Amino acid sequence: MRITLSTLHKMMRDGQKISMLTAYDASFAALLDAAGLETLLVGDSLGNVLQGHESTLPVSLRDMVYHTQCVSRGAKRAFIIGDMPFGTFQISPQEAFRNAAEIMAAGAQMVKIEGGRPMLDTISFLTERGIPVCGHLGLTPQSVHQLGGYRVQGKAEDDAQRMLDDARILEQAGAGMIVLEAIPAALASQITAAANVPTIGIGAGVDCHGQVLVLHDMLDVYPGKKAKFVKNYMKGAGSIQEAVALYVKEVRDGTFPGREHSF
């Protein structure tokens, strides 16, 4: 039976950690599904790891629809989240709805939108019309040029306060989940304690309700420089299945991420 957003909210309330990895094709989606991951993210990180771009900015709606279709054919149980690519949700809530609807029709059960307060109207518009939305705060890769690089966010007191406020605002707008990327573990812990929806961390410490990594990073097949928060699960593993099983176990028992993967 398909995992739903209600299943994930219940896991949060019961104190059970949620495991997520990115997936872009049917074969890996089936493998991750069989490994018991609760959620798969069709991330626009496919721009980096599949297409070889330096950022996620060139990823199109067409790319996201295609890869979401592939993943949804492979995964029968996991909850599937599709990223809204750069330029498809910023102009108006109406346009965002039209584009999100394509990702949902491709097989996603939720869309992910990067950004805080400025996304409030769009998130309300989508969630009031039946499209679940996952927020994404902290290091938002689509804003890499605005942020001046892939840097840890929320270190200064005023930035940290803004992120705490943004998390509350996203939740009030209807976001059903929030990804926290590359922020101090203590800040993620505060956001998580105040949240009534699951927080999923990537470089945000162990206190989040769940964890996500980019599949090609944790399998050590991406040739680029690795972020501090990435753990190479292929090290010592006899197979991809074994590596993924260890990731799921470590997320569930709280041994990943360790202090060495956190800020």
Hey, which residues are catalytic here? 181
Select from 7-15, 41-49, 190-198, 253-261 the region that touches ligand KIV (CB under 6 A): 41-49
In angstroms, the CA 198 to CA 30 distance is: 24
Using CB under 6 A as the binding rule, the residues of this chain from 175 to 194 that contact ligand KIV are 179, 181
Q: How far is the CB of 228 from ligand KIV (least distance, A)?
A: 14
Site string for ligand KIV, 194-233 (x = CB under 6 A): --------x---------x-x-------------------
Nearest to 122 by CA among 84, 153, 160: 84
Select from 37-45, 84-92, 164-172, 228-236 the region that touches ligand KIV (CB under 6 A): 37-45
In angstroms, the CA 155 to CA 173 distance is: 25
Cβ atoms of residues 96 and 125 within 8 Å = yes
Distance set, CA 119 to CA 64, 109, 134, 206 (Å): 20, 19, 11, 27
Nearest to 248 by CA among 222, 212, 217: 212
44 is a site residue for ligand KIV (CB under 6 A)? yes
Nearest to 227 by CA among 136, 145, 143, 151: 151
Q: Which is nearer to ligand KIV, 212 or 248 (CB)?
A: 212
Q: How far is the CB of 211 from ligand KIV (least distance, A)?
A: 10
Q: Give the residues lining the site for ligand KIV (CB under 6 A).
A: 22, 41, 43-45, 83, 179, 181, 202, 212, 214
